[in-house]
Structure 1
Amino acid sequence: MHIAYVVVTALAVAATGFSGIAALLHFRPILPGMAAAGVAESWLTFPIGTLKTAGAVGLLLGLLGVPLVGVAAAAGLVLFFACAVHTHLLAHDRSAQFLLANGLLVLSGAALALGLTGS
């Protein structure tokens, strides 16, 4: 396992896990950005928070020795965050959540690319 993969994936686990748990708990600071993007608060639990948290767990499993699960989780997170960026663009929303979605898309993409090269 390459050091770059471990570092990037660990960062992705932490960032995506925090973002997923924040959505599951309906963390008050994220609510205005979600509303600006046209996302209903009821969606924060499922699908948004559930999928982000499951993706973080899958990445963690990839770090712990199940590389195919890690690659699949990274691919799913890339798709999720690509859709999130698209949603923010459609709503003409440039809030902090838009920037976060872009950052998590790049981080998930890097974890996917590094996971594919190592498997």
Structure 2
Amino acid sequence: MFAAYVTVTILASIFTGIAAVTYLIDHDYPKAQADMKRVPRSWIPRLGMALAAGSLGLLAGFAVPLLGTLAAAGLVLYFIGALIAHLRVGSRQLVGWAVFFVSVVAALTVNVLYHW
């Protein structure tokens, strides 16, 4: 179980960390996504910071298990919000969302199973 916990947590942290970097370096992809979902561009840095905090929180969970659990739960909520944003504008381009969502749900699941 330990190997699954470490592997899934690190993968979820890498996925969300890469997404956070694209949001924080002012890459074109997050801008296009924000425009498509009719989200103000001023939210992009905040969304990037939320992703970065979640990514770092997952890693910090190796030292403080409760922090990892809370970070994973926060990321699950973040991606539920992303799904709502997609559906609100009628977007059915959900493959990318699904990859992120499944990875953070898996991280939350292995975290809870391993620690609690």
Q: TM-score, normalised by structure 2?
A: 0.92
Shift of 1:109: 0.6
Sequence identity (%)? 36
**SS of equivalent residue, structure 2 residue 61:** helix
Residue 78 (structure 2) aligns with: 80
Report how many residues are paired: 115
Residue 24 (structure 1) aligns with: 24
Q: TM-score, normalised by structure 1?
A: 0.90
The residue identity in structure 2 corresponding to 1:66 is: V
Unaligned runs of 5+ in 2: none
Residue 51 (structure 1) aligns with: 50
Residues 7-45 of structure 1 show CA distances to partners (whole Å, capped at 9, x for unaligned) of 111111101011011111221133222211111111001
Residue 62 (structure 1) aligns with: 61
Shift of 1:49: 0.7
Residues 53-93 of structure 1 show CA distances to partners (whole Å, capped at 9, x for unaligned) of 00000001113x21111011000000010110111111112
**SS of equivalent residue, structure 1 residue 45:** helix
**SS of equivalent residue, structure 1 residue 69:** helix
Measured on the aligned residues, the alpha-carbon RMSD in Å equals 1.3
